[in-house]
Amino acid sequence: MAKLTFKTDYCKGCGLCVDACPKKLLQLAKDKINKKRHHPAEITDEAACVGCASCAMMCPDCIIKVER
């Protein structure tokens, strides 16, 4: 199990992390809007995350911290 921390207000909702996740555990939160007026990225099932950090590596805004 891994822990992902999102700097949510920095997210621009580009969705590149969503595509990068090999287990398809990320989504853009349709019900949330951040300070930048974007639907921010979030993890759907943290328990299933292996902490590969693909999402963080793909994120152009460096908002994801990954711990294992």
Partner 1 sequence: MVVFDKPHALNDMPFHYCPGCTHGIIHRLVAEVLDELGIEGRTIGIAPVGCSVMAYDYFNCDMIEAAHGRAPAIATGVKRSDPENHVVFTYQGDGDLASIGMAETVHAAARNENITVIFVNNAIYGMTGGQMAPTSLPGQVTQTSPYGRDVNHCGYPIRVCEMLAQLEGPEYLERVTVNSVKNIRAAKKAIKKAFQNQLDGKGFSLVEVVSSCPTNWGMTPQAALKWIDDNMLPYYPLGVYKDRSAAKEETK
Nearer Cβ to partner 1, position 43 or 64? 64
Nearer Cβ to partner 1, position 9 or 45? 9
Question: Which residue ranges make up the site for partner 1 (CB under 8 A)?
Answer: 2, 10, 12-16, 19-20, 38, 51, 53-54, 56-62, 64-68
Q: Is the CB of residue 37 less than 8 Å from the CB of residue 11?
A: no
Q: Is the CB of residue 42 less than 8 Å from the CB of residue 27?
A: yes
C-beta of 54: minimal distance to partner 1 in Å? 5
Which among 66, 68, 1 is positioned nearest to 41, based on CA atoms?
A: 66
